[in-house]
Amino acid sequence: MEQVLYSSIARKGLGSDEVFTIIQTASRLNPQRDITCFLIFRDGRFLQLVEGPGHELDRLIDDLLGDPRHHSLEVLERTQIDARSFPNWRMKRVSRSTGQSALDEIREGLSSNPSGEAVMDAIDEFLETTAA
Ligand SMILES: Cc1cc2nc3c(=O)[nH]c(=O)nc-3n(C[C@H](O)[C@H](O)[C@H](O)COP(=O)(O)O)c2cc1C
């Protein structure tokens, strides 16, 4: 089981309807792929943490690299985990409306990951460099 954190830049002019479609597709496919995740969309940038079997993550990253709705995908962290940090999140959207409580849940979930602190640092940096 592995965890991957990546950031990417949304295609120029990507609408909230398209973000909604991404969320819908992911919610449908992730259970079949044994993937759990959360997605943050801020300031025209995406930050997503995905967890699951390594070969499924590789397949998803291949799909993501070919997806024209975003570009400049950069893997920030990839770590081996014993158990999922977010077993109940087939596709959790974290936004202004989910606020601090979702971030607290992320922090708590990551505390079971030996590299969780580095992952959380990367998330904090993303939040600091994108407008709320
Ligand atoms: C920012 C972003 C996040 C995405 N997250 C997921 C995801 O968690 N799971 C997923 O199956 N597809 C996700 N997708 C969609 C995939 O890129 C792809 O369209 C989808 O897996 C269907 O692949 P296919 O067309 O090869 O069947 C995401 C796309 C974007 C732009």
Q: How many domains does the chain have?
A: 1
Report the pLDDT value the prediction gives residue 56, as an integer from 0 to 100. Answer: 98
Instruction: Encode the chain (132 residues) as per-residue pLDDT tens digits.
Output: 999 999 999 999 999 999 999 999 999 999 999 999 999 999 999 999 999 999 999 999 999 999 999 999 999 999 999 999 999 999 999 987 777 889 999 999 999 888 999 999 999 999 999 986
**In angstroms, what is the span from residue 41 Cα to ligand 1's centroid?**
14
Report the pLDDT value the prediction gives residue 99, as an integer from 0 to 100. Answer: 76
Domain membership of residue 29 as a residue range: 2-129
Q: How far is the C-alpha of 130 from the C-alpha of 108, rounded, in Å? A: 22
Shortest-distance Cα residue to atom 25 of ligand 1? 63
Report the pLDDT value the prediction gives residue 97, as an integer from 0 to 100. Answer: 76
Residues lining ligand 1, judged by CB closer than 6 Å? 8, 22, 25-26, 29-30, 37, 39, 46, 48, 50, 60, 63-64, 67, 69-70, 91
8 Å CB contact between 94 and 40: yes
8 Å CB contact between 83 and 1: yes
Residue recorded with tokens 């949304």:
10
**In angstroms, what is the span from residue 104 Cα to ligand 1's centroid?**
26
Report the pLDDT value the prediction gives residue 7, as an integer from 0 to 100. Answer: 98
Report the pLDDT value the prediction gives residue 10, as an integer from 0 to 100. Answer: 98
**In angstroms, what is the span from residue 105 Cα to ligand 1's centroid?**
24
125: domain CATH number?
3.30.70.100
Report the pLDDT value the prediction gives residue 96, as an integer from 0 to 100. Answer: 75
